[in-house]
């Protein structure tokens, strides 16, 4: 298993590097290994290959896996849709980053909880750039204003950028358009402290990097 994961990781890093260098030699691209379909053993094996950042999309899974692996210095990203009744559970796990803040209502509830616990949480605003009803996140027209509003009214939410899932289609032009939409909003926010643009999954990460992503979230290509 270790050998296979190592080969997957090397091949993925080569592809990320190729896409990165073709677009922007000075950008650093973070790789978050999405472990939602993987076991603790697989995560530990990928860690042994040098991977540090992992992502989960369910609070319960993040809890179980991070507890079992707590002796390893892993960097956990929560990338799923957070229900308000799971806020406390997520905060108690002290994740490195919450990538998927999808509404003002959730921001308000999160702020309350963070404030009462005297904590802050590194967070990305999720943009539904392809405007798909199956996805959560802010519509692109309102994402910029919402970002500013949260910056102002939620001091314990440390907003550091945007996250988006590419359009769900085989049409590359449409996927590219969805990434470009998010990138445009990100550019406007760079003077407001936004430094992370999380876009790109197994099927579209090279395209996402060419559209400005500096954080890719990869599951199946790493753990296949």
Return residues touching ligand PLP (CB under 6 A). 34, 36, 57, 79, 165, 201-203, 217-220
**Dist. CA 14–CA 82, nearest whole Å:** 33
**Dist. CA 119–CA 91, nearest whole Å:** 9
Q: Which is nearer to ligand PLP, 10 or 119 (CB)?
A: 10
Rounded to the nearest whole angstrom, what is the least distance from the CB of residue 98 to ligand PLP in the complex? Answer: 12
Q: Which two tokens stand for residue 51?
A: 């991977």
Rounded to the nearest whole angstrom, what is the least distance from the CB of residue 117 to ligand PLP in the complex? Answer: 26
Strand partners, 163: 126, 198
Rounded to the nearest whole angstrom, what is the least distance from the CB of residue 187 to ligand PLP in the complex? Answer: 22
The residue with its CB nearest to ligand PLP is 219
Q: Find out whether 114 and 87 touch, Cβ atoms under 8 Å.
A: no
Crossing angle of helices 40-48 and 2-23, rounded to 10° = 60
Query: What count of residues does the chain have?
Result: 224
Rounded to the nearest whole angstrom, what is the least distance from the CB of residue 61 to ligand PLP in the complex? Answer: 11
Strand partners, 216: 31
Q: Which is nearer to ligand PLP, 43 or 218 (CB)?
A: 218
Q: Which is nearer to ligand PLP, 36 or 86 (CB)?
A: 36
Q: Which is nearer to ligand PLP, 45 or 82 (CB)?
A: 82
Q: Which is nearer to ligand PLP, 102 or 217 (CB)?
A: 217
Question: Cα dist. 78→32, 35, 99, 117 in Å?
Answer: 10, 11, 6, 19
- Surface-to-core class of residue 124, CB atoms within 10 Å of its CB (0-12 exposed, 13-18 middle, 19+ buried): buried
**Dist. CA 93–CA 80, nearest whole Å:** 15
Rounded to the nearest whole angstrom, what is the least distance from the CB of residue 22 to ligand PLP in the complex? Answer: 21
Q: Which is nearer to ligand PLP, 166 or 212 (CB)?
A: 166
Q: Which is nearer to ligand PLP, 122 or 156 (CB)?
A: 122
Pinpoint the alpha helices (H) of the chain.
2-23, 40-48, 59-68, 87-92, 104-117, 140-153, 172-189, 205-210, 220-223
């Amino acid at each position: 298993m270790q050998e296979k994961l190592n080969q997957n990781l090397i091949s993925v890093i080569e592809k990320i590097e190729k896409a990165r260098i073709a677009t922007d030699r000075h950008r650093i691209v973070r790789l978050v290994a999405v472990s939602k379909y993987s076991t603790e053993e697989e995560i530990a094996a990928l860690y042994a290959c040098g991977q540090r950042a992992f992502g989960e999309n369910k609070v319960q899974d993040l809890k179980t896996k991070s507890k079992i692996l707590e002796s390893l210095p892993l960097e956990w990203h929560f990338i799923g849709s957070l229900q308000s009744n799971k806020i406390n559970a997520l905060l108690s796990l002290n994740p490195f980053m919450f990538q998927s803040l999808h509404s003002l209502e959730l921001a308000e509830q999160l702020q309350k909880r963070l404030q009462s616990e005297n904590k802050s949480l590194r967070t990305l605003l999720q943009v539904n750039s392809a405007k798909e009803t199956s996805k959560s996140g802010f519509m692109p027209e309102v994402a910029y204003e919402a970002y500013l509003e949260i910056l102002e009214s939620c001091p314990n939410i440390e907003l550091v950028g945007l996250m988006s899932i590419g359009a769900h289609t085989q049409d590359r032009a449409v996927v590219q358009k969805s990434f470009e939409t998010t990138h445009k909003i990100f550019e406007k926010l760079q003077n407001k402290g936004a430094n992370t643009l999380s876009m790109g999954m197994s099927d579209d990460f090279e395209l996402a990097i060419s559209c400005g992503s500096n954080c890719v979230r990869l599951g199946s290509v790493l753990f296949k």
